[in-house]
Structure formats: structure tokens, C-alpha cells
Structure 1
Amino acid sequence: MANPHFKRILFFLQKRFYNAVSSSTNPNNSTKMVDRITDASYKRKTSIEICNSTSHLSFRIQYLTKACGLSLDSAISASKKVKLDGKKKYHYDSVVSFFKSHNFSDTHIAKLIEKYPGVLQLSISIKVEPKIQFLIQNGFDGLLLPEFVVSMPLILVRSLDAQLKPMIALLKGFLSSPEKILVSVRRGGSWCSNFERVQQNVDYLIEQGVPKNRIADMFLWHPMGMCHANDRVKYGVEKLKSIGISPSTPMFIHALRAILSLSESTWKRKRKIFESLGWSYDDFISTITRNPLCLCCSEEKLRQSMDYFVNTIKIDKQSVIGNPKILMYSIEKRVEPRYRIWKILGERNLKRPAFIWMLDRPENLFIKRYVTKYSDTHPDLLQIYQKCKEKTISPEGEEDCI
């Protein structure tokens, strides 16, 4: 029986061959081209060219799968992005060997080549080794090195002096360890190509009074926010200052992240959602100054959450304004199951706090204090809670959960 892996490669090559032939024999081509196709020598030449092309393609796929560890699908995709020549196999082998000698596992190498197949064509002495040595000298040793490079493979083609060195220097000024720098890079790996823009934004935020430790948090938790055009960042800062969020406050970077993700029209639409449920403009501003990340929720999510809290659970508006974080919780996975337990505790005359207090507790603490605490006298509570979490339920009847 034929190897399925081989059959897929053969099918792919046949498809490429068919497309090449179809292209050359298109009836819409000029009469001159049709006449040439009928010439036997031209046919032989075309066949040779197609065979050579197919041979190169076959080498690419085989090399990417066998030497680099890519799956067949990934190899086919990568083969469209890089031209590998069998005559240069020695160079490709040396690139792979170089990375292996620097703690890159087979998995690291496969991921690196999937992200940037062109790495196989880079000069080790000119492009790769100087950057690897620089990273090692700056604390990226052991597994930190391959994890960093795989997270940001384009550093291998960027300028060492103009891009990588100033980028690492900037990050080291805010983040205390290579481990934190790696976290930042993983969350925003493409921003190294916008280093000058990032530096401008950092300078502007410092000028506006944002503390250094808050900028560090921005790099750590939302590094892509530093890549926005400087005018956009200025707009966000001025918008937040106009509604009373000071750059010196801990909430500012979270608010900036939220505002940078919204267009002016989206801001207005989300404001109208609150107003449609009776929020005044001051209520709206009070809500987002307490938890600006609720603006990152979709319009549908905001409508669903506010409708559920105000109309189903009957929580008063001021309680929602005072605790806007609850708007971000999943209704199905968190709010409804906990509301069911809260109702049962009341029905059974068991001690319970305000529902919003219960809703805000971490999962393990909620279960400990309000579910398993009563396991001796009410052993069904845990089963009810677990089943409520497994499906969307009506909060009206216990029978819906059991």
C-alpha cells in the first residue's frame, strides 16, 4: 500500500504540474503562443522546465519535513514562501546545526521555520550569529534564547545596531529581567519593527506624567499598545484626561489600552448602549473610570450583561456602576451558576453575603465558602453548581440544574 504521506506530496506536485500546463495552453493566449505550443521542441523544453520546477518543489517539501520537522501541511505552506535549492543543502544543514548547538530543540526549529522559512537562507556569520551572541550576552541563555528567537524571528533579519540593540536597551530600562522581556515579546512580537514609534510614545507618556512603573506594566501586559501612531496615543491620553483619568493613576494604562482599541464611532455606540438602559453621561463616565476594560467587551456582551443584571437579577444600577467589573464576567459560566447557589442559600436560610460580593470571589474561594462549606448538611450544592456550569440554565428553578 502506498505511503499516505508520499501520496499527499505526489498529489500536490501533480496539481502544480497541471496548473503549469494549463497556464501555458490557455486558449485565450495569442495565436503566436498556440503555434509555439504545437512545436515539438518547445513542448520538450516546457516539460523539462516543469520537471525541474517539480523537482525543486519536491526537495523543498522533503527537506522541510524530514530535516526541519514540519508537518506536511506546514511544509507545503512554507514551500510557497521560500525557494530551497538541493545544491545548497549543505548551507541549510549548517543553519539547522547552528541552532541546535544553541539549545534549540527540534520543536523550536520547526516553529521557527514555520514562522519564517527564509531563516534557512540567512548567512550564519553575518545575519544570525552576531544577534545570537548579543542576546546571550544580555542574559538570554538556556531555553530563554530559543524561546525569544521563536517569538520574534524577524530580529534575525533586522539591523543589530539600529533595531535589536536599542530595543533590548529600552526594554531593560523598564523590565527587570530577561524573563519579563520574553513575556513582553510573546505578547507583542511584531513591535520590534516599530522601534522609533515605540520610543516616541514612551517619551510622550513620561512627559505626560505616567510613572515609569506604569509604563513597565504597559510593556508587560499590553506591548502592542505602544506601537500605535504617536498621534493616536496623544488622542487617547487627551481623551482620558478630559473624562478625569489622570496619567499618574494606576488605572490609567488600563484605560489607555481600552481607549486605543476603540474608534470614535465605537466609543459613541458603547456610550449609547449605557444610555439606552438609563445611564446618564456621568454614570457612563463613572463606570469606565472604575473599570475601563469593560469598554473592550463587545457591544453584544455589554447589552447582554447589563440586561441580565438589571432586568433578570434586579441589581440596582448604582451597584453595577460601583462594580463595573461584573460586566466582563461570563453570564453562562460564572454569573448564572453563582446566582443559582446564592438563591438556594437564601431559600434554605443559610448565611450568604450580597450577590455581587459572591460573584467577585475567585473560583476556589467561592466553592470553599459557599458550596463545600455546607457539604455535611447540603451535599447536593456541589452537584447543582457543577451542572449549572455545564449548561445555560434558567435561574428560576432548581430543577433546571439537576
Structure 2
Amino acid sequence: MRGSYNKNLFLYHLTVITRTSSPSFLIPSPSSIFRAPNYATVTETLENQSFTVNYLVNNCGFLPDSALHASKYVLFKTPEKPDSVIALFRSFGFSDLQIHNVIRKKPRILVSKPKETILPKLEFLTSKGASKLQLARIIDLNPLILKRSLEKHLIPAFDLLNNFIRSEERTVASILRAGQILTCSRSLRNINMLVDLGVRKISMARLIRQWPWLLLCNSEVRLKSIVDEVIKMGVDPSKANFVPALYATYLPKSMWDKKVELFKRFGLTDDNILEAFVKHSCCMLISVQKTEACIEFFVKELGWKPVDVTNYPVLLSLNLEKRLVPRAAVLKILMANGAINSGKHLLAYTASEERFFKKYVNRGKDQAPELLKLYREKMNLPVMDSKLMS
């Protein structure tokens, strides 16, 4: 490999010197407007380039061709500055691969002043709760962070995100999910657009926590078109349902079409599907397999119609094995013993565990003593929580 590297370097240098096929390029005529090349400068540049390429190969894990390419963007003739940059990264726990990735994406970082330009940004992120592992991952994802102004860009951007989330720890987690959100100016414009439309602060917090890459759409026009489409379908920007609706619409159309196809197999119409989406947009984010299993459970086990399920689409978001099946079993026994009236009892499925236990399981244990045992078995619990039984 070393022989191949030297050959590539020689050919590259030869190309620099003989970039034109005419020998007169090196010896201009008296009337030529071009100056003869300064051979001392050319020699110095080639020497610096050779040193840089060697350094990148030997110290940064570059292959010779990649090192040659990177040397077009950064040149140095002594190892002191790049050594200090690499040492700083290592002191913060960066792996060799992460250091290689950062330098590959932004080679000029190697000639930065580490204490003046890199250290303050690393310290800022750690002061906000980023662990060494998280910090290295964030910079690996987006080394542009090290080139941005701390006071003019990074601090205001972090504060804007944290203003919605109200948790520095969760803000760091959001940056990990979408590395560019801290440096991309589009994210600020998209946030302002959504806030101006009336999207609530709590909804913005959910967007930034769960789907921050939505704010990095290639252009505001792209996100605006999604927003307009969701509003046209009848989802109010001021409602909590709006952000999940945005994400559901942003996903590839093929995913949407598969869900629509499933609903229609159960005899549901476009109007039924749209109504379910407007009520609870997350119903379009649930996997086809889970949606199918939930509908079949209500239809086959409880005798509901498919439209009964989509009229209350939040049911599709609930855990089938740990929520729907155990509670349905309790309701069946209570209805059979006359403890409660026959019906769907929708609130029984959406109530908290404590409320469901007190209202149904605990209250009906006299009429149906087997309820406690049944519910414990269905929930796969060795014993019932004493807090629930109190």
C-alpha cells in the first residue's frame, strides 16, 4: 500500500506542475500576460502538501487517496497544531473513528486554535448535560458545530429549543436525534412559521423531542406544503393532534397507502379514515400489523364493527396484550354477572391503571371473586400492586 501511496502522490504532484500539455506554459513568451511560476512557492506548497498527506494517513486513519483529497482544503507543515486538536478531542473521550470522521468532514478543523475555538463549544455542550459519549456523537454527526459562533449562533439556538422543551437533558437528546438542528438556519425559520400558525408550545416541544428532523426540511416551502395539506384535511394547528398529523403526512406515501388499504379491507371508507386521522392522527403511524390485530380483536372477540374502532382511533394506540385484552376480559365478566351494563365502555380502556382497577376490578370482586386472579394472569403479574388494591 505504501508503494501505491507514493505513486499516487508523485502523479498528483506531476499533474500540478504539468497542468497544461504545452511546454510554453513554463516558459512564457515576452508578450505573455502570465507570470512564470514561482518555483520556490510551488516547491513549498508541494512539501506542505506532502507533509499534510503523510500526517492524515499516519495520524488520522486516512487512506492515501482520501488524504490527497483533504489536502486540497487544509495544509500545514508542522504537527503542533493538529496534534493539539486531536489531543483535545481525545481528552473529551472521542474515539479514533470519531476523530477521523470529524476531520474527514471538516479538514480545516485541524488548523483551528483548539483552546479558543473548539474547547468553549465542547464545554458549552457538557455544561448543558451532554455526557462524553453524547458529546462525541453530536460532533461526529455535525462537526459544523465547531465552526459556528458560540455566542451568536449555538447558545441562541440551544436556548430556543430548550425554551420549548424545558429540559436541557431532553434538548441534548433532541440534538442527538437531528444533529443539524443546532446549526441549520432552516430550523429557526420553520419553528417561527409553526408558532405563527398557532401551534402550541407543548406541541412544539413534542415535535422537537420526537421528530426534530421535520424542522430540517430542505425548504420552508416543503414544510409549508405539508402544513397546508394537514390543515386542509381538517386538523387544527392549535390542537395537540397537529404535530403527529404533520409527521404522518411527511412519511413516504407508500406507508400511508398501506394503512389506507388495510382500513378498506375492513370495509371502511375514505371518510371513515379521514375522520379517524383528524381525531387521532397517530393512528396512521401505528404499524399495519398492530392495527390489523387490534381491529380483529374488537371485531372478532368483542363483536364490534370496524367503524366502531375507528370512531375512537385512540384505541389503536393502546397495547393489545397489556391493556386491551386484560381489560376486555374484566368487562366481559362484570357484564355477565350484571355488575355493569352491557356496552362498549370506552373509558375503561383509556383510564389509568389505578382508576380502572378501582372502578372495575376492585368494585366487582364481590360479584366476581375470580376477577383479581383473572386480571393478574392477563396482565402477567405475580401479585397485584398493593397501591391498586388499597
Q: Same fold (TM over 0.5)?
A: yes
What are the equivalent positions in structure 2 for 1:2-401 lying under 5 Å apart? Answer: 94-95=87-88, 98-99=91-92, 109=93, 112-113=94-95, 116-118=98-100, 126-127=113-114, 130-134=117-121, 136=123, 140-141=126-127, 143-144=129-130, 146=132, 149-154=135-140, 157-162=143-148, 166-176=153-163, 177=166, 178-186=168-176, 188-192=177-181, 195-206=184-195, 208-211=197-200, 214-230=203-219, 231-263=221-253, 265-317=254-306, 319-351=308-340, 354-372=344-362, 380-390=370-380
1:256-279: per-residue Cα shift (whole Å, max 9, x none)?
A: 12211242x432332232233232
TM-score, length of structure 1 as denominator length: 0.60
321 and 190 in structure 1: CA distance in 2 versus 1, 3 angstrom threshold: same
Gaps of 5+ in 2: 2-56, 68-78, 104-108, 382-390
Instruction: Name the aligned partner's letter for residue 325 of structure 2.
Output: E
1:86-138: per-residue Cα shift (whole Å, max 9, x none)?
A: x99x9699447733xxxxxxxxx3xx53872538987697357734424655x
TM-score, length of structure 2 as denominator length: 0.61
In structure 2, distance between residues paired with 1:363 and 1:210: 31
In structure 2, distance between residues paired with 1:296 and 1:162: 36
189 and 131 in structure 1: CA distance in 2 versus 1, 3 angstrom threshold: farther
Aligned to 2:31: none
Count how many residue pairs are aligned between Structure 1 and Structure 2.
Answer: 300
- The 8 Å contact of residues 174 and 210 in structure 2, kept in 1 or not, is answered as yes
Instruction: Name the aligned partner's letter for residue 268 of structure 1.
Output: D
1:290 is displaced (CA, Å) by 0.8
1:50-94: per-residue Cα shift (whole Å, max 9, x none)?
A: xxxxxx99x99xxxxxxxxxxxxxxxxx999x99xxx99x96994
In structure 2, distance between residues paired with 1:79 and 1:313: 63
Please give the secondary structure, in 1, of the residue aligned with 2:184: helix
1:215 is displaced (CA, Å) by 3.0
In structure 2, distance between residues paired with 1:79 and 1:338: 59
Please give the secondary structure, in 2, of the residue aligned with 1:245: coil
- The 8 Å contact of residues 127 and 156 in structure 1, kept in 2 or not, is answered as no
1:293 is displaced (CA, Å) by 0.7
1:287 is displaced (CA, Å) by 0.5
- The 8 Å contact of residues 154 and 182 in structure 2, kept in 1 or not, is answered as no
In structure 2, distance between residues paired with 1:183 and 1:145: 11
Please give the secondary structure, in 2, of the residue aligned with 1:173: helix
In structure 2, distance between residues paired with 1:237 and 1:163: 32
- The 8 Å contact of residues 84 and 114 in structure 2, kept in 1 or not, is answered as no
In structure 2, distance between residues paired with 1:286 and 1:192: 33
Please give the secondary structure, in 1, of the residue aligned with 2:234: coil
1:148-201: per-residue Cα shift (whole Å, max 9, x none)?
A: 514513377325454866354234224235334224224x14334871342343
In structure 1, distance between residues paired with 2:365 and 2:137: 47
Instruction: Name the aligned partner's letter for residue 149 of structure 1.
Output: L
Instruction: Name the aligned partner's letter for residue 152 of structure 1.
Output: I
1:294 is displaced (CA, Å) by 0.9
Instruction: Name the aligned partner's letter for residue 217 of structure 1.
Output: R
- The 8 Å contact of residues 131 and 156 in structure 1, kept in 2 or not, is answered as no
Please give the secondary structure, in 2, of the residue aligned with 1:349: coil
Aligned to 2:20: none
225 and 382 in structure 1: CA distance in 2 versus 1, 3 angstrom threshold: farther
